[in-house]
Amino acid sequence: MPPATAVPWTDLLSTATEECLDALLDVADQDWSLAARDLDWTCRHTLDHLALGLIGYAGLLIARPRDRYITLFASLDPQAPVPTCLEGVRIAASLLTSTVRDAAADARAWHPWGHSDATGFAAMGITELAVHTYDITRAFGRSWVPPDDIGSAVLDRLFPDAPSGHGPSDTLLWCTGRIPLPELPRRATWQWAGAVR
C-alpha cells in the first residue's frame, strides 16, 4: 500500500479547490478564448472540462458502475461570465468532496485508468484542478504551480512510478506531461494508476 496521507483527502481536495480558484480568479478578467497552454482547448473550454470531470468523479463514486462512465454530464453556462463559472467549479468540487467524505470504505467504481475508490477519485479531482489551473494560468503568463503538499499526496496515490529526487509539484507536472525534468524529457503521453493498491 502507498503511504497514507496525514491530511484527510477531503481536506486536500478543499485546499486544492481554494488554491486553484484563487489563481483562476486572478486571471478572470483576461481573454479566455485563448488556447490553454499546449492544449487544443481554449481556457474557457478547459474550465468546462474541469467542472465536468469533478462532477463525473462524484457521479462515478455514487453510481459505482463496473464497466462504463456515468450518463450524467454537467457543463458550465457558455454565456456566464468567468467569475460565475468559477462558482460552478466550486460547486462541482464541493459535490466531489462531499461524495468522497460519505463514501463507504469499500466503494469502488469504474474508471478507464483503473477501478478506483474514494481516495482515488479525490486524487483524480485534485490532479484535474492542479494541472488545468496550471494550463490556464500559463496561457496568461502567470507562474502558478500546485502546492507541494497537494502534489505529494497525488503522486503517492496515482503515480506510484513517479521519479524521485524532484519537488512534488514539478514531479506531478512532469507525470502529467506539462514540463520536462532534468534528464527527463517532457512526456508526450501519460496516465495515472487509479486502481486500488
Please state, in angstroms and rounded to a whole number, the distance separating the CA atoms of residues 90 and 84: 10
For the segment 74-87, the average pLDDT, to the nearest whole number, is 95
Please state, in angstroms and rounded to a whole number, the distance separating the CA atoms of residues 88 and 167: 31
**What pLDDT shows up at residue 41?**
95
Average pLDDT over the chain reads 94
CATH node for 9-175: 1.20.120.450
pLDDT above 70 covers a percentage of the chain that reads 97
| Span 98-132, pLDDT tens digits | 999 999 999 999 999 999 999 999 999 999 999 99
| pTM strictly above 0.85 | yes
Among positive and negative, which fits the CA dihedral 124, 125, 128, 131? negative
Q: Which residue type occupies 89?
A: V
Q: What are phi and psi of 159, to 5 degrees?
A: -130, 70
